[in-house]
Structure 1
Amino acid sequence: MAPHNPAQRDLLLDAAETVAAREGVARLTFDAVAAEAGVSKGGLLHYFSSKEQLIEAMVQRSADGWRNCFMTGYAEAPEGPGRMLRGILNHCCMDARNWTDGLRRSYSAIFAALAQNSELVQPMRDVYDELYGLIRNDGLPDHVAEIVMAAIDGLWFYWVMRLRPVDQEALDRLRCTLERIVALAVEKPETFDVQITTPPPSADA
């Protein structure tokens, strides 16, 4: 059997993402992907022996891309508290032109995985575990880091889902606001002390 060609494998994954994004996961078939890629079905089967294997590879590639994004940001950010969050904001949330249709299309893999078998999303779960491990050791109050990441993930989600557009102005507003929150959490962490109280039981309880 001929060895796998990484460039050809990426071409096939591109085709699978295109089919899933354009036609929906129900139409993500080997025939459709092979036609989109301009290869024979046998050529596709040489790389992926099942639909689940194809979707898992799509998810893994998306997960690797996200890991590369936040780890590059982490490496570029100055050391100190909030380094991981500062890195994500500066590297991943700086330029709206980097939020491309191809990047949005790559996340069709996640929806394909959820529709096919939720266990196939595990590579992305693993990457988020890595990310949150770094954030927990980032020197900021835990709930501050959670709020900042929830805001970033929220913006990302409604962009991927085409619920709202994300332009440079929107991205700048979010980034600048979150940068101020991180800076304040570094300088005055006591500002974010939270007392969690349990509401009294309702009269109907």
Structure 2
Amino acid sequence: MGRTPTITRDRLLDVAEEIVRKGGGAALTIGALARAASVSKGGVQYSFASKDDLVRALIERWTSQFDAMMEGETGDDPLAFVRRYIAATRASQQAMDAKMAGLMVTYLEDPANRQETRDWYRGIFHRLGGGSADARAARVAFLAVEGLFLMHMNGIDEDGDWRGFLDDVEAVLARLTS
């Protein structure tokens, strides 16, 4: 019979997110996580063998949370899909700040992670495919939201303009598709 863990993998991820929020991606180390979680480095490494594994787990967690917000029937309708994407982006910004987004940049330094991200975007563009005016409008709205996300990653949203810009994208999308 083994010892009962004093901290779970999910709790370690919670603590890791807090470290990134406070100090950015550079502050997240196995040692810093161990100290903040009041466990040994070995305790952290039991769940995450390396910082790369830890970062990958954080990205997977955020992606899963975002995908859960995207759930719902949109069928082949690119407009319904992009509207759901905008809503999920708007909701996810409460949890995602520029420091956490910066950690994603580190994640993308690994070619395998970059390929996974490319595949994810290919899936999005497949859903937004087609030559109709609505499909084109949906693609442009998607690209605008992704551009806003990149601006947010770079800390340009210090004044909280993010939500207003998303409102602008939705208003233009509505105008283009009415």
Q: How many residues get paired?
A: 174
CA RMSD in angstroms comes to 3.4
Among residues 88, 92, 107, which one is paired with 1:92 in the alignment? 88
Which secondary structure state, in structure 2, belongs to the residue aligned with residue 49 of structure 1?
A: coil
Secondary structure at the counterpart of residue 82 of structure 1 = helix
CA contact (8 A) 2:141 2:169 kept: no
Q: In the TM superposition, what are the counterparts of 1:157-176 in structure 2 within 5 Å?
A: 157-164=150-157, 165-166=160-161, 168-176=163-171
Aligned to 2:55: 55
Counterpart selection for 1:110 from 81, 104, 107? 104
* Greater Cα shift, 140-149 or 151-160: 140-149
Name the TM-score, length of structure 2 as normaliser.
Answer: 0.74
TM-score by length of 1: 0.66
Check whether the contact 1:17–1:108 (CA below 8 A) recurs between aligned residues. no
Q: Percent identity?
A: 24
Per-residue displacement from partner, 1:143-199 (whole Å, max 9, x unpaired)?
433321111111222223321233544432222122322x15xxxxxxxxxxxxxxx
**Unpaired segments ≥5 residues, structure 1:** 185-205
Structure 2: give runs of 5+ residues left out of the alignment: none
Q: 1:16 & 1:169 partners in 2: Cα distance? A: 30
Note the 1:28-107 alignment, pairs <5 A. Answer: 28-70=28-70, 72=71, 74-75=72-73, 80=77, 82-89=79-86, 91-92=87-88, 99-100=93-94, 102-104=95-97, 106-107=100-101
Larger Cα-atom Rg: 1
Note if contact 2:129-2:135 (Cα within 8 Å) is conserved in structure 1: yes
CA contact under 8 A between 2:16 and 2:28: conserved in structure 1? yes
